[in-house]
Every structure is written in C-alpha cells, then in structure tokens.
Chains A and B, each alone.
Chain A
Amino acid sequence: MIIFSIILWIGLIISLTEWYRRRSPELRLLTVYLVVLTLLDGMTLLKDRFIVAFSPWLTLLMIIKGIVVLIIVYKAFKLLKKV
C-alpha cells in the first residue's frame, strides 16, 4: 500500500515545482488538492500503523474521508485537463 502513497508524493512534488515555475491558478488549485489528498492519505497511514482495535467512529470517519478523497480526485482530474 505504501507504493500508492509514494506515487502520490511524487505527483505532489511535480505539481508543486510546476506551480512554482508557472504560477498558473489552475496549477495552484491542483497543488492544493494534492496537498489535501496527501494529508488524508497520511491519516490512513497513521490508522494502519497504530490503531489495532475496531472502532465504529473511526470506520465512519474513514468512510467520510474516502468520499472526500474521491470528490477531490474527480475535481483534480477535471482540472488536470486544463493545465
């Protein structure tokens, strides 16, 4: 699973450098999306690493997080066509 996180980090770095070079608003928004995705992904990493016990609230949180991630990914893909 860590390979997906590493790919995400590589994408974030590329988007950040491109935004720094070009300063277009679309790239800025895309970078913000990728930063948010990375933070949410870090939440999953923390959960997988440390939480052993089953918790319904945590499951609910993870489901909400998944929905948010999918929405952000959809918006970011739409944005990716413009940059």
Chain B
Amino acid sequence: MGARYQSPDTGRFISQDPIFLLTGASNFSDRWNRNWRDIKAEQSSSQFNQNGKDSEDRLALMEYLSDPQGLNSYSYVKNNPLKYTDPNGEFAFLLAIPAAEFVIPAVIAGVATIGAIAVNRFAKDRPLQWDPGRFQLPRIHNQESPDETNLFRNGPPENIPGWKKAVIGASLASAAVKEFLEPIKQAKEFIVNFVKQSIESNKDTVMDK
C-alpha cells in the first residue's frame, strides 16, 4: 500500500483515506483533481469553468459523497474485496481491469487454437499443397499409396519423440504437484498461526500467575 497503512490480519486500513484529510481544505477541488490524476480536472475545466470555483467544489464533493460505502474512511475497497482491489491505497479498482492481463492472453490462445483447428480441417480434405521440409519425418509407410500420403501430410501418426513426451509428462506432473502444494501451503499457514496463538496465550497465563 502506497498511500496508507493496512493491517493484513484484519484486511482493513489502519490509517485514514488521504482524501478525507482534504475535504475541509480551501483548495479542495484543486487537490481533488490532482489526486484523480487530472481526469476530473479536464472534465471540470471544459464543462464547468464558466460557473466558477464553487460549483467545481460542489461537483467533486457530490461525486465523492454519492457512494456511501466510501464514507467509512478506514474501509478497504468498500468492504467488497471480491469485487474490487486497491493496490496503492488510494482508489478501489474493479477486479475486471487488472484481470485483463490474464484475459487477453487467454483470448489470444483461444483464437490460436481455433485457427489451428480450422487449418487442420482445411488441410485434411485437400491434397498436399505445401511441404514443410523441416517437419518432414522419415517415411516408414508405403510411399506409393496416394490415399495415405494425402490423409497424413507428414506421414502416418507415429509416436512422438521421447523428450517431447517427457516434457508433456512433466507439465502434467507440475499441474498435479501444484494441486498437492496448495493444501500443504494452507495447512502450514494454519499450523503456524495456531502455534503462534497458543504461545501467546501461554505467555498471558504465565504473566497472570
């Protein structure tokens, strides 16, 4: 958190939202606009400049007060961490925006897969039109039967090379290992917390005696 302190145990901020420290200030709209990284400043200068500074102040304040969850200056992302995230402690972002960094590669991978399927379908029904030389495998089947060569562009399906098999196996194993590591990690956290709490409670009882 850049702008304020947060307690990781409770998931809440332990210092106030910095915008609350500005609300009484005389130059509120200036500082507000600067805080919003000049987005609001552009809007207000283009639309409301002729109305003067008071209306700017009221506009900014009204917009801020229009979200009642934001009035608790200690709450984290409007008490809705499943929907919002707040990496720097200033604003609550919808999770959909940072999720784009995962969604875009997923869309690219999907398009690539569908393209591969389409090319595959296209190539299967037609005779060989181009010869990918460096993909050429040693042909162990009868070269003279044209049906077979048309059906399989690079020869009939053979076993894939051993190292590729090993890599695919490793990737499957890593997926499985990850599934086993996840509960182990959670169990470790649980045990560590439990031991910590028991030590602290023991300390209290010793101090009491």
Contacts and interface: CB of A to CB of B under 8 A. Distances in A.
Interface of A: 1, 3-5, 7-12, 14-16, 18-24, 27, 30, 34-35, 37-39, 41-42, 44-46, 49-53, 55, 62, 66, 69-70, 73, 76-77, 80, 83
B102 A20 contact: no
In the A-B complex, list the 8 residue pairs whose CB atoms are closest, starting with the nearest.
A11-B171, A24-B157, A4-B174, A7-B174, A66-B179, A22-B157, A73-B176, A11-B168
Given A22-B158, A44-B178, A44-B182, A10 B171 contact: yes
* Chain B interface size range: 35 or more
Contacts of A9: 171
30 contacts: A1-B178, A3-B174, A5-B178, A7-B174, A8-B174, A8-B175, A10-B171, A11-B167, A12-B171, A18-B164, A21-B135, A22-B152, A22-B157, A22-B158, A23-B157, A34-B168, A35-B113, A41-B178, A44-B182, A45-B102, A46-B99, A52-B11, A53-B81, A66-B182, A66-B183, A70-B176, A73-B172, A76-B172, A80-B165, A83-B159
Nearest to A39: B106
Contact of A7 (B11, B95, B106, B171): B171
A66 B157 CA distance: 33
B95 A23 contact: no
A55 B82 contact: yes
Which of A11, A20, A73 counts the most chain B CB atoms within 10 A? A11
B188 interface: no
Given A34-B172, A35-B113, 14 more contacts: A4-B175, A11-B167, A11-B169, A18-B160, A22-B152, A39-B106, A41-B175, A52-B11, A52-B81, A69-B175, A69-B179, A73-B175, A77-B172, A80-B172
A42 B102 contact: yes
Contacts of A20: 116, 119-120
A13 to B, nearest CB: 9
Contacts of B124: 23
Nearest to A82: B159
B81 A80 contact: no
B98 interface: yes
Contacts of B165: 80, 83
Contacts of B106: 39, 42
Interface in B97-135: 98-99, 102, 106, 109, 113, 116, 119-120, 124, 135
B63 to A, nearest CB: 26
A35 B10 CA distance: 37
Question: Which residue, A4, A27, A66, has most C-beta atoms of chain B within 10 A?
Answer: A4
Contacts of B182: 44, 62, 66
Interface string B166-203: 01111111111111011100000000000000000000
